[in-house]
Copies of this chain bind each other. A is one copy, B any other.
Amino acid sequence: MSSLVPEKYIEERRTQVDARLNRLWKERRRYPEGIHEAMEFSVMAGGKRLRPVMCLATAETMGAKSDELVDIACALELVHTYSLVHDDLPAMDDDDFRRNRPTCHRVYGEAMAILAGDALLTLAFELLAGWGNYYDRSDDALLMVSELAEAAGTEGMIGGQVLDISAEGQDASLEDIEAINYRKTAALLRASVRIGGIAGKADPRQMNQLSGYATALGMAFQIADDLLDLRGDISKTGKEAGSDEAREKATYPLRIGEKNAENKANELYQEALSYLENWGEEADILRYLARLLVFRDK
């Protein structure tokens, strides 16, 4: 594990991921131009690269080196970005702004935004396959393809978006909200950590603990996000405060109140840490990241 202080570690990994993402557009043929521009615009919009960082931190906790794993980490960011681009579409959440910038379809049009999303998802799988072929780790790469496809599919992110849309304006139960949060948010975070585990050759027991950690953390992360939506100011979150409320979205804070939702997030945070109980200080970065994801102001 790196001996860097956590803030510095995260900053370095982010820079590493951003550098690779930047190279990605330069490497690829520029024809047809428009689609690559729309992809780059969406990916390079200044995200926090949380999923790539979680993946790399997990792999490094297991003793792997991050240099060889950047393509895998980037694949996770591409899938995350694809989901944002499609979720923002007029037929879905109809969002005009994200991260203080106009959304992809506002700049490039709806057709191009649909295709850019499709292309980002496709490119993610291409990156995983390319990595496995290059490093001669086909078995591991194929497990990663499975993990990613499941997390992105109808039992994961896509199913979550379906439930999210159909829950709008309905009197959603806590169970419904949990089902949405698991699929929309926790599934990809879980996959990011598990893929890091595969990269770092985690054994089955470690893999179970990593899954428990990431799932609880993912659920807490979504509640933290919903709390920010309720309270946050647009200069920090890039979104207008209260947009979930206006849309009658199914969220914990709107369902059980701010204070109860805060308690729930804290509980899930503690649960996440408990899965790392028997891990030494090599897992400190995962503990730090958990704190960062749940207790944040943007």
Q: A230 an interface residue at 8 Å Cβ cutoff?
A: no
A145 touches B119 (CB 8 A): no
Is A240 an interface position by the 8 A CB rule?
no
From A95-103, A129-137, A250-258, give the one contacting chain B. Answer: A129-137
Stretch with Cβ within 8 A of B (4 or more), from A25-33, A193-201, A274-282, A286-294 = A25-33
Is A142's beta carbon under 8 Å from chain B?
A: yes
A162 vs B115: C-alpha distance when bound (angstroms): 8
B126 touches A146 (CB 8 A): yes
* Other-chain residue from B34, B121, B138, B159 in contact with A138 (beta carbon distance below 8 A): B138
Q: Write the A54-95 contact mask toward B (1 if CB under 8 angstroms, else 0).
A: 000000000000000000000000000000001001011000
User: In the complex, which residue of chain B has the Cβ closest to the Cβ of A180?
Assistant: B32
Q: For A28, what are the chain B residues with a Cβ–Cβ distance below 8 Å?
A: 154
- Shortest A189–chain B CB gap in Å is 17
Q: Answer yes or no: A207 CB below 8 A from chain B CBs.
A: no
B-chain residues with CB within 8 Å of residue A153 when the two chains form the complex: 119, 122-123, 126
Q: CB-defined interface of A132-169 with B at 8 Å, one 1/0 digit per residue?
A: 11000011011101101110111100110111011000
What residues of B have a CB within 8 angstroms of the CB of A111 in the complex?
A: 89, 91-92, 165
* Interface pairs (26), CB distance under 8 Å: A29-B155, A32-B159, A32-B162, A32-B163, A36-B154, A39-B154, A86-B115, A89-B111, A89-B114, A91-B110, A111-B165, A114-B114, A118-B152, A119-B153, A119-B154, A121-B121, A121-B122, A122-B152, A123-B153, A126-B145, A126-B149, A126-B153, A129-B149, A132-B142, A138-B139, A145-B145
Known: A138-B142, A154-B28, A154-B32. A121 touches B118 (CB 8 A): yes
Contact yes or no, B154 A35, CB < 8 A: yes
Interface size, A (range): 35 or more
Q: A128 at interface (Cβ–Cβ under 8 A)? A: yes
CB pair B128 A145 closer than 8 Å: yes
A118 CB contacts on chain B under 8 angstroms: 86, 117-118, 121, 152, 158
A221 on interface, CB distance cutoff 8 Å:
no
Does A241 interact with chain B (Cβ within 8 Å)?
Answer: no
Please give the distance in Å from A111's CB to the nearest CB on chain B.
5
Q: Is the pair A143, B133 in contact by a Cβ cutoff of 8 Å?
A: yes
Asked if A112 is at the interface of the complex by the 8 Å CB criterion, the answer is yes
What distance in Å separates the Cβ of A93 from its nearest Cβ neighbour in chain B? 9
Q: CB distance A162 to B125 under 8 Å? A: no
> What residues of B have a CB within 8 angstroms of the CB of A126 in the complex?
145-146, 149-150, 153
Residues in B neighbouring A32, C-beta threshold 8 A: 154, 159, 162-163, 166
CB distance from A41 to the nearest CB of B (A): 14
- Chain B nearest CB, measured from A91 CB (Å): 4
| Shortest beta-carbon contacts, A-B, top 6 | A91-B110, A126-B149, A138-B138, A129-B145, A129-B146, A32-B162
